[in-house]
Amino acid sequence: MPPVGALLRRSLRTPLVFGSSTDVGKTIVTTLLCRAATARWGHERISYLKPVSTGSLDDADARHIIRYAPRVMAQTLYQYDSPKSPHSAARESEQLIPTDQELLAKIHHVADLSKTPGWLFIETAGGVHSPVPSGTTQADMYTPLRSPVILVGDSKLGGISQTISAFESLHLRGYDVASIALFRDDVYRNFEYLVDYFGEKYNIPVRTLATVPERELNDQLEQQNMQTYYKEQSQAVDVVNILERFDTCHRHRISDLEQMANRAHKHIWYPFTQQKHLSSDQINVIDSAHGDYFQMLHQSPEPGNLLQPSFDGSASWWTQGLGHANPKLTMAAAYASGRYGHVMFAGSIHEPALSLAENLLNNMHNPRFSRVFFSDNGSTGCEVAVKMALRAARTRYGWNSHAKLGILGLKGSYHGDTIGAMDCSEPGIFNEKVEWYEGKGYWFDYPTVKCTNGRWIVDVPETLKADLGEGKEYESPAKILDVDGREQAHEARRYEAYIEKVLKMLSRRGQKFGALMMEPIILGAGGMIFVDPLFQRALVHVVRRSAHLFGNSSGGSWRESIDWNGLPVVFDEVFSGLYRLGQYTSASFLGTHPDISVHAKLLTGGLIPLCTTLASESIFNAFSSDDKSDALLHGHSYTAHPVGCQVALESLNEMRQLDANGAWNAFKNRGWGECTTGGVQIWSVWSSEFVVHVSRQVTHVESIWALGSVLAITLKSGGSAGYKSTAAQELQSRMRQGSVDGSWSVNSRVLGNVFYIMASQTTTESTVTGIERLILKALSMG
């Protein structure tokens, strides 16, 4: 089933009528609006939809509409006899309970039938959070539609509170409330308060409607009274104003969306973008996002939908973990905002920061770690890590503060965009033109892991073959990742010998190093390179036993200890950690523990920036001094901001729950093979059959790999390899074209000739399968 997106058509206004509590007169308001619409837009099609209705059919809201607004097309999707909340009534009935997606799809289907301009009033049931048949609350269920709301306020005693709370539940789910309608009650006069409240705080008009006539026992009299009421009141200024405003907002919303790309083109300076090549029609206009999908402006012929669900295939630059607009993360953010705002962190402590620090330290299972330093993003977190490592090395080896210290790293590494983080990487496309960039260090070449023409191999670059021998095929990716098993089979020996040879050469040259810094197994920005983890492990081992090659310290003898040895080992897990590759840490793939590690992106589940740099006590102690200025001189204004920490806590706990509850079991054990390295399970949301199948498309595909939620395809590019290649862009643009029926598409990013795509931690199997099919189709068109 294709994803269900937002509802937005040029000529069809679709007000979603919510009640601030039950029995506030939603149906009467809707009837008034239907009649007013009929009068004002007489030539258009006015429809009414009750998606879910409970109680006797005689009292059903659609019947009321048919009776009092006879020119309106009225329809109910699901009718349950029991006069209870829909989730109870549905369970008592013998009907199949529709899923939320089915319900939303049916609403879209009704809208599809409106080929002519018009209005479709969608009336909800009960209060904003009354549950729908599936048990989801209405406010959560209708979120993806993004239909603007007409909220019927509560005019009774206590109604001020109900109206505000109901509004807040909608607002924090990203609903736009266009107007609030309230019956006039001259005793409580809630409208007086609410007009000011919503006007001042939200610029939302509160419209007052005439009191409904008292109920009559005599049916005929009752109907007469209501007919008169509707006839008179549907012409009332406040009623007509609700529609006029809705219509205006609807047109503005569309014209705003249509102008956004041009306005952005004029005033936004985009990150990592050559804007000379960016025309405004290439800018994705995002109305909203929900779950795995952006709701993107999409030029659809009348009367088609103007927004298309587009799979967020870069997981919003690798941050997305629990779906866009996840209400749990929203509530966590709102709670911390309401409790603290921000709290200056130097010398202070607050609960979210402390809990997050302890939570990370506990779950990393790294006996070295004892300290957490907070910053704002992976780049700043890597600068913090480098400051930590260099100081530790410098003080232990007794170098003076002007010693030129470098980083030992890997070719193709990338640690961020600030100058200090850039300086940790070798010169390349991402940094060499930046004026103050000055790569400091030595970067190893290494064997890589890939699936090519149906075979999983460790590939050795030509330049290393003399030292490391030829590459090798393995029966499964798990066998490659089984670093314990491979070490026992002595596969690490040549790696270690080679690494030692290089370190000795560097030592002879007199180069000084302050850290070994790597992204474990996957180098992300460098082009989604899958490094042989055994090589990385060998690097760590050799560096730790080679203090004699780095400094003249007597503390250089190799022993397994939680103190750092040789050089501080820094793992940049910003991209690779926190379940992105299926394991809580990517260090676990290497079966080794860093002295410092950096975590961001998924840390906050794809909501707001936050980064943590974890370190061991022996690193921390390097800054201990009687001199204040020997402290780690780093700290941003919003360091450890409570909102970010609370969201991170929620996000980490939620992901650990998913893991513990077996949420990913459907993806596991699908041909990835077994790994005997302690605690490591190799799996991916992308099926191994699919990966092997794609690897056989040898006309276009150079190689492919998948791990955790990431899939990366290196395309053959006929000579122009690297960042400037266009083969991956062609695949990207085919994915952007989307499904045959145009009902959804895939938004992705490329890195040179590498097309990659990644899921969140909550993407379903059927979504993944749909994307796999789309990729195969796009490749076969190549």
Using CB under 8 A as the binding rule, the residues of this chain from 575 to 614 that contact a copy of itself are 600-601, 606-609, 613
Is residue 440 a contact point for a copy of itself (CB under 8 A)? yes
Q: Choose which of 94, 186, 237, 269 interacts with a copy of itself (CB under 8 A).
A: 269
Nearer to a copy of itself, 130 or 546 (CB): 130
751 and 742 Cβ atoms separated by less than 8 Å: no
> Residue 334: how many CB atoms within 10 A of its CB?
16
Report, in Å, the least distance between residue 759 CB and a copy of itself.
Answer: 14
Nearer to a copy of itself, 109 or 365 (CB): 365
Is residue 624 a contact point for a copy of itself (CB under 8 A)? yes
* 410 φ/ψ angles, rounded to the nearest 5 degrees: -120, 145
Report, in Å, the least distance between residue 728 CB and a copy of itself.
Answer: 13
Site string for a copy of itself, 414-433 (x = CB under 8 A): --xxxxxx-x-----xxxxx
Nearer to a copy of itself, 164 or 713 (CB): 164
Is residue 42 a contact point for a copy of itself (CB under 8 A)? no
As a whole number of angstroms, the distance between CA 664 and CA 579 comes to 11
Is residue 516 a contact point for a copy of itself (CB under 8 A)? no
What secondary structure letter does DSSP report for 64? Answer: H
Nearer to a copy of itself, 131 or 566 (CB): 131
Q: Choose which of 539, 615, 710, 759 interacts with a copy of itself (CB under 8 A).
A: 615
Q: Where are the alpha helices (DSSP H) in 630-710?
A: 642-660, 688-695
* 650 φ/ψ angles, rounded to the nearest 5 degrees: -60, -45
Closest CA to 689 of 677, 704, 674, 675: 704
**Residue 137 pairs with which residues in a beta bridge?**
131
Sheet of 448-452, strand order: 472-474, 455-459, 448-452, 701-707, 710-715, 754-758, 750-751
Is residue 435 a contact point for a copy of itself (CB under 8 A)? yes
Report, in Å, the least distance between residue 308 CB and a copy of itself.
Answer: 14
As a whole number of angstroms, the distance between CA 635 and CA 613 comes to 12
Look up residue 593 and give its two tokens: 């523990």
Report, in Å, the least distance between residue 393 CB and a copy of itself.
Answer: 9
Of the listed pieces 108-116, 153-161, 450-458, 586-594, which binds a copy of itself according to CB under 8 A?
A: 153-161
Nearer to a copy of itself, 138 or 452 (CB): 138
Report, in Å, the least distance between residue 692 CB and a copy of itself.
Answer: 30
Is residue 629 a contact point for a copy of itself (CB under 8 A)? yes
Q: How many residues does the chain have?
A: 782
**Residue 459 pairs with which residues in a beta bridge?**
448
Report, in Å, the least distance between residue 391 CB and a copy of itself.
Answer: 6
Q: Choose which of 261, 502, 663, 776 interacts with a copy of itself (CB under 8 A).
A: 261
User: What are the distances in angstroms from CA 676 to CA 36, 149, 532, 581, 665?
Assistant: 71, 55, 16, 17, 19
Q: Label the pairing between strands 455-459 and 448-452.
A: antiparallel
Is residue 331 a contact point for a copy of itself (CB under 8 A)? yes
Distance from first CA to last CA of the chain, Å, rounded?
26
* 599 φ/ψ angles, rounded to the nearest 5 degrees: -135, 130
As a whole number of angstroms, the distance between CA 565 and CA 627 comes to 25
Site string for a copy of itself, 468-507 (x = CB under 8 A): ----------------------------------------
171 and 8 Cβ atoms separated by less than 8 Å: no
Is residue 254 a contact point for a copy of itself (CB under 8 A)? no
Nearer to a copy of itself, 559 or 628 (CB): 628
Q: Choose which of 308, 326, 452, 576 interacts with a copy of itself (CB under 8 A).
A: 326
Q: Choose which of 75, 370, 511, 764 interacts with a copy of itself (CB under 8 A).
A: 370
Note the Cα 78 to chain centre separation in Å. Answer: 33
Nearer to a copy of itself, 582 or 606 (CB): 606
Of the listed pieces 65-73, 82-90, 217-225, 711-719, which binds a copy of itself according to CB under 8 A?
A: 82-90
Nearer to a copy of itself, 466 or 633 (CB): 633
Is residue 289 a contact point for a copy of itself (CB under 8 A)? yes
Is residue 308 a contact point for a copy of itself (CB under 8 A)? no
Sorted by sequence, the CB contacts under 8 Å of residue 283 that are 6+ apart come out as 260, 261, 264, 265
Nearer to a copy of itself, 258 or 467 (CB): 258
Closest CA to 658 of 511, 543, 763, 520: 763
As a whole number of angstroms, the distance between CA 731 and CA 748 comes to 10
Is residue 266 a contact point for a copy of itself (CB under 8 A)? yes
Of the listed pieces 65-73, 77-85, 238-246, 535-543, which binds a copy of itself according to CB under 8 A?
A: 77-85
At 507 the three-state DSSP class reads: helix
Of the listed pieces 67-75, 121-129, 565-573, 704-712, which binds a copy of itself according to CB under 8 A?
A: 121-129
At 219 the three-state DSSP class reads: helix
Count residues near a copy of itself (CB under 8 A). 174
Instruction: Name residues contacting a copy of itself, limited to 700-739 (CB under 8 A).
Output: 723-724
Nearer to a copy of itself, 394 or 545 (CB): 394
Burial zone of 560 (CB within 10 Å; 0-12 exposed, 13-18 middle, 19+ buried): exposed
352 and 638 Cβ atoms separated by less than 8 Å: no
Nearer to a copy of itself, 99 or 284 (CB): 284
Report, in Å, the least distance between residue 136 CB and a copy of itself.
Answer: 10
Which bin fits 398, alpha (ψ -120 to 50), beta or left (φ > 0)? left
Instruction: Name residues contacting a copy of itself, limited to 638-677 (CB under 8 A).
Output: 638-639, 641, 643-644
Q: At what angle do helices 642-660 and 327-339 cross, to 10 degrees?
A: 150
Look up residue 657 and give its two tokens: 């729950």
Is residue 372 a contact point for a copy of itself (CB under 8 A)? yes
Nearer to a copy of itself, 11 or 82 (CB): 82
* 702 φ/ψ angles, rounded to the nearest 5 degrees: -80, -50
Instruction: Name residues contacting a copy of itself, limited to 158-217 (CB under 8 A).
Output: 158, 160-162, 164-166, 168-169, 171-175, 187-190, 193, 201
Closest CA to 239 of 114, 108, 69, 70: 69
Nearer to a copy of itself, 89 or 569 (CB): 89
Is residue 249 a contact point for a copy of itself (CB under 8 A)? no
Look up residue 503 and give its two tokens: 């370190």
What's the CA angle centered on 776, arms 773 and 777, to 5 degrees? 85
Is residue 155 a contact point for a copy of itself (CB under 8 A)? no
As a whole number of angstroms, the distance between CA 558 and CA 566 comes to 8
- Across 55-133, where does the E strand assignment appear? 73-80, 118-127
Of the listed pieces 207-215, 280-288, 531-539, 708-716, which binds a copy of itself according to CB under 8 A?
A: 280-288
Q: Choose which of 220, 637, 661, 699 interacts with a copy of itself (CB under 8 A).
A: 637
Q: Choose which of 64, 207, 391, 545 interacts with a copy of itself (CB under 8 A).
A: 391
Instruction: For residue 278, give the amino acid letter.
Output: L
At 473 the three-state DSSP class reads: strand
357 and 591 Cβ atoms separated by less than 8 Å: no
Nearer to a copy of itself, 399 or 558 (CB): 399
Instruction: Name residues contacting a copy of itself, limited to 335-354 (CB under 8 A).
Output: 335-351, 353-354
Q: Choose which of 72, 150, 390, 522 interacts with a copy of itself (CB under 8 A).
A: 390
Of the listed pieces 31-39, 372-380, 472-480, 549-557, which binds a copy of itself according to CB under 8 A?
A: 372-380
Report, in Å, the least distance between residue 441 CB and a copy of itself.
Answer: 11
Q: What is the largest CA-CA distance in the chain?
A: 105
At 526 the three-state DSSP class reads: coil
Site string for a copy of itself, 743-762 (x = CB under 8 A): ------x-------------
